[in-house]
């Protein structure tokens, strides 16, 4: 692959190859010397048109650990503010010969469009409600390490599915790896074309969590609700917030996940989120660096191989 735009384009074997490499980086990241030369001499530019803590920090750390020259574009201070378009901005940066562009954008499809215009490898760091492929890959690695496998698991994805690129990428990835997926949440927060996903749908948390191996919570994404469905947080927590009582319906060794940023007391009980016997939320963050190292390493190998040789 030239780019990493979504899970949609990846095969089961692409996913396994990437997770296997990420596993080796996860081990290396726990050693005192975390550095390698995999991206030495390459230039990575991070362009985040939407807020981020985890994704931006981990892509920057990942690039630096692999020896890339990493530049973070401060989009708030860029000429986007003077009316320059996304494509003109990308073409301007493209003319500086970057090797890797990491892009987050509020509009679905914006990153795919940009990838068609530039010469370098593009990694989607989240586009609108479309895809967040590295999030699904880091979730998959976290599940595989906690459960010892990534197939034939029963996985509940809970909450605001309709507005979630994380849910969409996870449904695609976990489906490709042959897991049973349940979507749990209010009908108003379910995507309209739910049938195409091959999942079971529940609007009752206790029924939806019955016997599952993995409980994946999502944030209420008010920034994408267009003034539509905004539930009272208290009522939402009562019905759909994960606490010990609702979790008791899942398998006794079920793990609890949340991509972050989380709203304690809205979609998840704070004590449960911090319970290291059940919650793998910090592992997800740790695996984020490893997965992004693996993704950039693999793309850079293809990218360098595709360059014309200098006579
Ligand atoms: N999970 C995630 O994408 O978090 P950030 O928005 O902080 O990057």
Instruction: Dump pLDDT digits (tens) for 20-71.
Output: 999 999 999 999 999 999 999 999 999 999 999 999 999 999 999 999 999 9
165, 130 contact by CB (below 8 A):
yes
pLDDT-derived band at 246 (thresholds 50, 70, 90) equals very high
3 state SS of 190: coil
Of 3, 129, 130, 132, catalytic? 132
Name the residue with the closest Cα to ligand 1, atom 5: 52
Q: How sure is the predictor about 210, in pLDDT bands with cuts at 50, 70 and 90?
A: very high
Tens of pLDDT, residue by residue over 152-172, are 999 999 999 999 999 999 999
Strands 43-48 and 100-105: parallel
State yes or no: 301 annotated in a binding site: no
Is residue 242 predicted with pLDDT exceeding 90?
yes
Question: Ligand 1, closest atom to CA 51?
Answer: 6
Dist CA 184 CA 201 (whole Å): 6
Question: What atom of ligand 1 comes closest to residue 58's alpha carbon?
Answer: 8
Structure tokens at 231: 């539930």
Mutation pick for ligand 1 pocket among 47, 48, 54 (CB with most ligand atoms within 8 Å): 54
In the block, which residue shows the tokens 């390490």? 145
Nearest CA to ligand 1 atom 6: 52
pLDDT at position 78: 82
d(CA 113, CA 264): 36
Return the residue whose CA atom lies nearest to atom 4 of ligand 1. Answer: 54
Going from the Cα of 132 to the center of ligand 1, the distance in angstroms, rounded, reads 9
Question: Nearest-5° angle of CA 120, CA 163, CA 279?
Answer: 90
Decide if pLDDT at 311 tops 50: no
Q: For the chain, give the mean pLDDT.
A: 94
54 is catalytic: yes
Give the ranges where 66-190 is alpha helix by DSSP (H): 86-94, 110-115, 133-147, 165-176
Flag whether pLDDT at 190 surpasses 50.
yes
Predicted local distance difference test score (pLDDT) of residue 253: 98
Q: Is 82 assigned to a binding site?
A: yes
Is 282 annotated to bind ligand?
A: no
Q: Which of 43, 55, 89, 142 is catalytic?
A: 55
Of 176, 181, 178, 263, the C-alpha closest to 215 is: 181
Determine the Cα–Cα distance for residues 87 and 81; give it in Å rounded to an integer. 14
Output the pLDDT for position 225.
81
Q: CB within 6 Å of ligand 1 — which residues?
A: 52-55, 126, 135, 259-261
What is the structure's pLDDT at 266?
Answer: 93
Q: How many residues does the chain have?
A: 311
Instruction: Give the pTM.
Output: 0.95
pLDDT of residue 82: 84
Report pLDDT digits (tens) over 272-305. 999 999 999 999 999 999 999 999 999 998 876 5
Instruction: State residue 76's pLDDT score.
Output: 78
Known binding residue 307? Answer is no
State the Cα–Cα distance between residues 14 and 27, nearest whole angstrom. 21
pLDDT at position 307, please? 58
82 is catalytic: yes
Centroid of ligand 1 to alpha carbon of 177 (angstroms): 24
Q: How far apart are CA 301 and CA 310, in angstroms?
A: 17
pLDDT at position 304: 61
* pLDDT at position 231 over 50: yes
Would the pLDDT of 77 be above 90? Answer: no
In terms of Cβ atoms closer than 10 Å to its own Cβ (0-12, 13-18, 19+), residue 97 is exposed
């Amino acid at each position: 692959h030239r780019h990493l735009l979504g899970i949609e384009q990846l095969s089961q074997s692409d996913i396994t190859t990437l997770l296997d490499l990420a596993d080796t980086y996860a081990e290396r990241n726990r050693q005192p010397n975390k550095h390698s030369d995999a991206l030495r001499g390459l230039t990575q530019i991070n362009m985040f048109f939407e807020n981020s803590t985890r994704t931006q920090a981990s892509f920057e750390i990942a690039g630096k650990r692999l020896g890339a020259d990493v530049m973070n574009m401060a989009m708030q201070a860029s000429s986007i503010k003077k009316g320059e378009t996304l494509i003109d901005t990308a073409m301007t940066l493209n003319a500086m010969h970057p090797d890797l562009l990491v892009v987050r954008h509020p509009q679905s499809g914006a990153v795919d469009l940009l990838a068609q215009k530039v010469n370098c490898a593009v990694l989607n760091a989240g586009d609108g409600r479309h895809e967040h492929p590295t999030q699904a890959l880091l979730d998959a690695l976290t599940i595989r390490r906690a459960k010892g496998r990534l197939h034939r698991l029963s996985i509940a994805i809970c909450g605001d599915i309709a507005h979630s690129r994380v849910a969409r990428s996870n449904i695609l990835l976990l489906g490709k790896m042959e897991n049973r997926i349940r979507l749990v949440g209010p009908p108003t927060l379910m995507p309209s074309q739910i049938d195409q996903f091959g999942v079971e749908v529940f609007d009752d948390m206790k029924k939806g969590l019955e016997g599952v191996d993995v409980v994946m919570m999502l944030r209420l994404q008010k920034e994408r609700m267009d003034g539509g469905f905004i539930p009272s947080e208290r009522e939402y927590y009562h019905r759909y917030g994960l606490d010990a009582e609702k979790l008791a319906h899942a398998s006794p060794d079920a793990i609890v996940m949340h991509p972050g940023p989380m709203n304690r007391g809205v979609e998840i009980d704070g004590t449960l989120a911090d319970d290291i016997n059940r919650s793998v939320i910090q592992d997800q963050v740790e695996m984020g660096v490893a997965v992004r190292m693996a993704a950039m390493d693999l793309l850079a190998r293809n990218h360098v191989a595709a360059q014309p040789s200098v006579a």
